[in-house]
Amino acid sequence: MNPSKEVVGTELWRLTATEIASRVNAGKLKAVDVVASSLERLRAVNPRVNAVIVTCAEALKDAAEVDERVARTGFGGRLAGVPVTIKAGADQKGYLTDSGAKHFAQTAAETDSPQVKSLKDAGAVVIGRTNMPAFGCRWFSRSSLHGLTRNPVNPKITSGGSSGGAAAAVAVGIGPVAHGTDIAGSIRFPAYACGIHGIRPSLGRVGQFNDSSGDRQIGGQLMAVSGPLARSIPDLREAYEVMCAPDCRDSQQVQVPLRPASVCAKEGKPLRVGVWACPQIGGEYDTEVVDAVRQAAEKLRAAGHEVSDCDGSVPQEADLHAVAHSAAVLWASEYEGVDQRLKHTVDRTGDPDAIFAVSGLLRMSGVAASEWGCANFGQALMRALTERSKGIRQWGCFFQSFDVLLCPVSSRLAFRECEDVESEEAFDAVWKAQALQRMFPALAVPAIAVSTGTVRRRLTTASSGLAGGELEGGSVSEEFWEDVPVGVQLVAERFHEEFLFRAGEDLIRGTEKEVVTPVNSHG
């Protein structure tokens, strides 16, 4: 008897990760059938979205090994047979860790990074590597090396960045789970833009390290994390817990129970949710963005949680700006100051988007002048670390009164494609709108982007060629953009991710976003 008999006629790539693992482990479904279906889906839709830049030739062989493990032991792992994708910035044995840049497209990785290893150890099957902007320095996913990743929901808006390929892959049905990274919103914003869910775990939760590049500068060490994107919260939780496997290569990883005592104490009890619908940073908020937060608050209240506005409990506006600026300086330390090798590498790649974006990052952080020298940059860095410490303390006090913060992901709906490289003014507007994306990573706290639906809005489109010239044709025009995704951000105290999963599940229970239906990509 064929164990896949009960799902004949079903497009297996549509199944959730938890459904796949449950059926594979029960012997009711073969991992090779699931992976073959996902590879077929990849071949059918990827040419139109360019989410996956490399297809893994060994995927079916790896799936067969999962099936053999199930036959031998009765258990193939928590993610047995689940097709996943890996972002191009993470080491995967035998593949280039190019991070979207030609400079890094030289030598194949010799080992799997911790997050890749943990997924494989749990029985997940890597089917491809996903696109990202060069050096991961934008909220958009286009590079000279691999081209543009299109948003499968609406091709006129960005798929987000830097994990845009990961988000687009999940949204279009190329695997139910994707790996992403986040130093300033690179998981949360793509999830928001593509209408799926994504979590930025606490600093120290998920092990990460690339043997191919070695240790990062201080900004990357204190703010960059890896996490999953998925079409359902249960899938997100399962992938996240798998990725939390300990690995000695990550000097920042902390072995804390997935459900600390403070989380267990709230089991079965209402969560205290603070609503911050229109924060003091981020500029002017789109009406649809604020409405989404207010509607989410009502849904959480209806689910039995204790919901109240928290505007008077968050830090003062000056302190919010200070910690957001500290995050910018720490991020900029990857490119400028004590070690400028990466900045020089960006300049040498010739990727106009990356050059423009890194220049904007350094300008907005106030550390763009290389002639400052190490001493002056060191002083700026020390001030940033002091402001970061103050922010962690202030928000730690906030979370004594609230279990979850409900707020926008961005002050705006998803941007038009490559809006950030149209001009310095456009870059500055995008930077301002992403204040919450930039601030929370400096605080080491977990945050989840939960998709809540779509809105219809009239916006202005514009040409968006590579920065610095060669604009792709088309005049400025106005039109209705349908199906623009919208969502909210949930934030919790460090290592309290379980609160986010609880609130996220309650927020979308019974809605179309409880399990996001894969979209058909636009031609």
Taking alpha carbons only, the member of 523, 429, 455 closest to residue 193 is 455
Handedness of CA 365, 191, 91, 25 (dihedral sign): positive
144 is catalytic: no
- Provide the CB-side half-sphere exposure for 164 (13 A, CA): 37
Which helix H or strand E contains 168, and what residues bound it? helix 164-172
What is the C-alpha to C-alpha distance for residues 154 and 298, in angstroms, rounded to an integer?
Answer: 28
Q: Which residue has the tokens 């913060």?
A: 405
What is the C-alpha to C-alpha distance for residues 174 and 128, in angstroms, rounded to an integer?
Answer: 9
Give me 465's structure tokens.
């060629």
Query: Residue 165 in contact with residue 179, Cβ under 8 Å?
Result: no
Cβ neighbors of 218 (< 8 A, separation 6 or more) are 330, 333, 381
Task: Please tell me whether residue 407 adopts helix, strand or coil conformation.
Answer: strand
In 8-132, the DSSP E strands lie at: 52-55, 83-87, 125-130
What is the C-alpha to C-alpha distance for residues 194 and 133, in angstroms, rounded to an integer?
Answer: 16
Exposure string of 348-374, with b = 16+ CB inside 10 Å and e = fewer, is ebebbbbbbbbbbbbbbbebbeeeeee
Query: Residue 288 in contact with residue 413, Cβ under 8 Å?
Result: yes
213 is catalytic: no
Query: Residue 96 in contact with residue 107, Cβ under 8 Å?
Result: yes
Which helix H or strand E contains 23, and what residues bound it? helix 17-25
DSSP string across 131-162: ---GGG-SSS-EETTTEEPBPSS-TTBB--SS
Q: Exposed/middle/buried for 316, CB within 10 Å: 0-12, 13-18, 19+? A: exposed
Catalytic residue among 37, 159, 163, 186: 186
Catalytic residue among 38, 162, 163, 521: 162
Which helix H or strand E contains 405, and what residues bound it? strand 404-407
What is the C-alpha to C-alpha distance for residues 160 and 139, in angstroms, rounded to an integer?
Answer: 5
Catalytic residue among 37, 38, 87, 118: 87
Query: Residue 132 in contact with residue 143, Cβ under 8 Å?
Result: yes
Query: Residue 491 in contact with residue 440, Cβ under 8 Å?
Result: yes
410 is catalytic: no
Which helix H or strand E contains 228, and what residues bound it? strand 225-230
**Terminal Cα distance for the chain, rounded:** 40
Residue positions annotated with a catalytic role: 87, 162, 186
